[in-house]
């Protein structure tokens, strides 16, 4: 029997907090529960708990992952409780959640483990991290052994949350916003200071640790570092080019490219290429890494741009880019078949953080450090526009559309870079109507020949507490091949089925066009979309990137 060191916190204490969080729907209550718990932790356990409270073992931008699917997890549970895997599957279907299924099975387990050691927070966290490092021969069986070790010592409630953590589906209603508010409350620092520190580091564990040790003074010293991506600055919709430029005084206008937005970090000899979802896709795009090595300096930097696919000088479907970033094999062949071009438009770090530097200055720095490689790595096309030459922006817009791009960006030259914020300092003006990014939460199977695949998708936005609120059913827009692929993806995520209706885990983000936003009691958001059309699957975006009820309300009013 292994003894627990006096300073190690039992996992049961964290599980009790999970249960308390799950027992309330009120965000302020969740914040207070978390704040009180965080305040009680030692400085080493604190950053671990901030991750586990989000249902994660690694930050979103980390390349490390557990690599454990539902099947392997259910097999481990079945082995420990002494049932068949089919019994676990049946229980999961009835409960609609692997955690609740694990809890029920552990309450009625046939096999008891004697001399098991009490679980600690560190034990659970470190063992799960150990799983991520396992590869090569017998990797799955070695991962199974660690899972079985954890489950063999777990109570029913502990099994519930271990299972959920493994699949990163904690289900206690805590998002980044709640954690940040709890850190501010626990260590008596202003929310705005915590928000900025997290915005610049994208590391809530580090923010919590510094808040505990050094307070606001320490948080104020945290800043952007190469190697840790930050959420991209977001653009609002411009309804009129002239009005937007006049409101800014003058503007820098750039072509808006329809591709995958990337944030590129050079740290030492490493080049990391992150998507909007903060996933590192560097291995899938070796050509882009080569262009960066050839066109930018050898010192550390963070630049931002858009990767597009061109054919005969014109951009082609966004789906072709997805073929490249999803590719794990035959990358060199795909490199020839799907050539990529990178357009850079901003720099966030060079010699020092440039987050607070005005955009006009950042653009000049970018231009000074980039060597253009025609059709491989270029700078975004731009013009300076004042009230005296508005026609230059209109010319750029028309030229961009003629070349097959989406439209133009209108940027305030004095604006700092504000990660994760959608504001009026950066606007987009597009030829096509604005679209929404929505997450699939359910669907309806078709009839007749289409009875075996989902033909209509229930989609949702998120509210200020990160709760998902339905807004529409989408059934048209994609060709049969893409719809079949989408149906297969959603079927893997189904957690409940009643007749033809299904409920799905919120993982898949869709780009949806529409003719109008209308008020509607039919959907949880209070709004609905008239004539919604599916434009594409946004594999470069996560549920964190979807549109919000606030934005829907704003668009409805305008």
Q: Distance from first CA to last CA of the chain, Å, rounded?
A: 66
Q: How many CA atoms lie within 13 A of 448 on its CB side?
A: 1
Q: Roughly what angle, to the nearest 10 degrees, separates helices 204-221 and 45-52?
A: 120
Residue (of 432, 423, 420, 416) closest to 551 by Cα position: 423
Q: How far is CA 374 from the centre of its chain?
A: 32
Could you tell me whether strands 340-350 and 377-379 are parallel, antiparallel, or unpaired per DSSP bridges?
parallel
Q: Is 256 a catalytic residue?
A: yes
Instruction: Measure the CA–CA gap between 81 and 152, rounded to whole angstroms.
Output: 9
- Is the Cβ–Cβ distance between 175 and 166 less than 8 Å? no
Backbone angles phi, psi at 177, to 5 degrees: -60, -45
Which of 75, 228, 256, 411 is labelled catalytic? 256
Q: Are 321 and 340 in contact (CB under 8 A)?
A: yes
List the one residue out of 180, 228, 197 whose CA is nearest residue 60: 228
Instruction: State how far the Cα of 476 lies from the Cα of 556, in Å rounded to an integer.
Output: 23
Query: Residue 494 and residue 534: Cα distance in Å, rounded?
Result: 20
- Rounded to whole angstroms, the Cα distance separating 215 from 128 reads 31
Contact call for residues 406 and 400 (beta carbons, < 8 A): yes
3-state helix/strand/coil string of 260-281 = EEEEEEEECCEEEEECCCCCEC
Catalytic residues: 256
């Amino acid at each position: 029997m292994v003894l627990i060191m006096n300073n190690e916190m039992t996992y049961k204490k964290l599980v009790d907090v999970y249960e308390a969080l799950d027992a309330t729907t009120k965000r302020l209550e969740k914040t207070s529960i978390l704040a009180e718990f965080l305040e009680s932790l030692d400085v080493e356990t604190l950053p671990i708990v901030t991750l586990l409270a989000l249902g994660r073992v690694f930050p979103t931008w980390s390349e490390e992952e557990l690599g454990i699917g539902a099947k392997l997890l259910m097999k481990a549970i079945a082995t420990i409780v002494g049932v068949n895997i089919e019994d676990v599957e049946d229980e999961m279907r009835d409960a609609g959640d692997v955690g609740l299924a694990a809890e029920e099975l552990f309450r009625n387990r046939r096999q008891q483990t004697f001399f098991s050691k009490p679980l600690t927070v560190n034990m659970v966290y470190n063992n799960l991290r150990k799983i991520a490092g396992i590869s090569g021969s017998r990797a799955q069986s070695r991962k199974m052994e660690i899972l079985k070790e954890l489950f063999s010592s777990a109570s029913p409630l502990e099994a519930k949350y271990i299972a959920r953590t493994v699949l990163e589906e904690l289900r206690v209603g805590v998002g980044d916003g709640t954690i940040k508010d709890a850190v501010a409350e626990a260590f008596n620092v202003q929310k705005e200071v915590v928000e900025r520190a997290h915005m610049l580091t994208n590391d809530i564990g580090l923010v919590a640790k510094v808040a505990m040790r050094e307070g606001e003074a320490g948080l104020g010293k945290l800043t952007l570092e190469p190697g840790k991506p930050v959420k991209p600055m977001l653009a609002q919709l411009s309804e009129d080019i002239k009005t937007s430029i006049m409101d800014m005084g003058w503007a820098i206008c750039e072509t808006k490219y329809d591709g995958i937005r990337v944030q590129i970090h050079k740290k030492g000899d490493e080049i990391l290429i992150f998507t909007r979802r903060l996933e590192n896709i560097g291995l899938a795009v070796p050509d882009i890494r080569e262009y960066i090595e050839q066109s930018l300096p050898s010192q550390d930097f963070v630049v931002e741009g858009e990767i597009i696919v061109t054919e005969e000088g014109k951009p082609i479907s966004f789906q072709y880019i997805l073929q490249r970033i999803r590719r794990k094999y035959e990358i060199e062949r795909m490199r020839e078949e799907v050539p990529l071009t990178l357009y850079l438009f901003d720099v966030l770090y060079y010699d020092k953080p440039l987050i607070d530097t005005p955009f006009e200055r950042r653009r000049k720095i970018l231009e000074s450090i980039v060597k253009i490689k025609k059709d491989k790595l270029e700078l975004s096309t731009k013009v300076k526009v004042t009230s005296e030459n508005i026609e230059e922006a209109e010319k750029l817009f028309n030229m961009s559309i003629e070349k097959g791009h989406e439209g133009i960006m209108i940027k305030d030259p004095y604006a700092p870079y504000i990660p994760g914020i959608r504001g009026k300092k950066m606007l987009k003006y597009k030829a096509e109507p604005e679209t929404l990014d929505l997450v699939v939460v359910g669907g309806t199977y078709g009839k007749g020949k289409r009875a075996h695949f989902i033909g209509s998708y229930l989609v949702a936005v998120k509210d200020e507490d990160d709760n998902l609120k339905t807004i529409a059913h989408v059934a048209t827009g994609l060709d049969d091949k893409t719809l079949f692929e989408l149906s297969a993806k959603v079927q893997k995520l189904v957690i409940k089925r009643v007749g033809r209706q299904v409920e799905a885990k919120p993982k898949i983000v869709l780009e949806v066009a529409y003719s109008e936003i209308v008020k509607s009691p039919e959907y949880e958001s209070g709004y609905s979309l008239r004539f919604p059309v599916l434009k594409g699957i946004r594999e470069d975006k996560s549920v964190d990137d979807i549109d919000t009820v606030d934005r829907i309300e704003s668009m409805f009013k305008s």
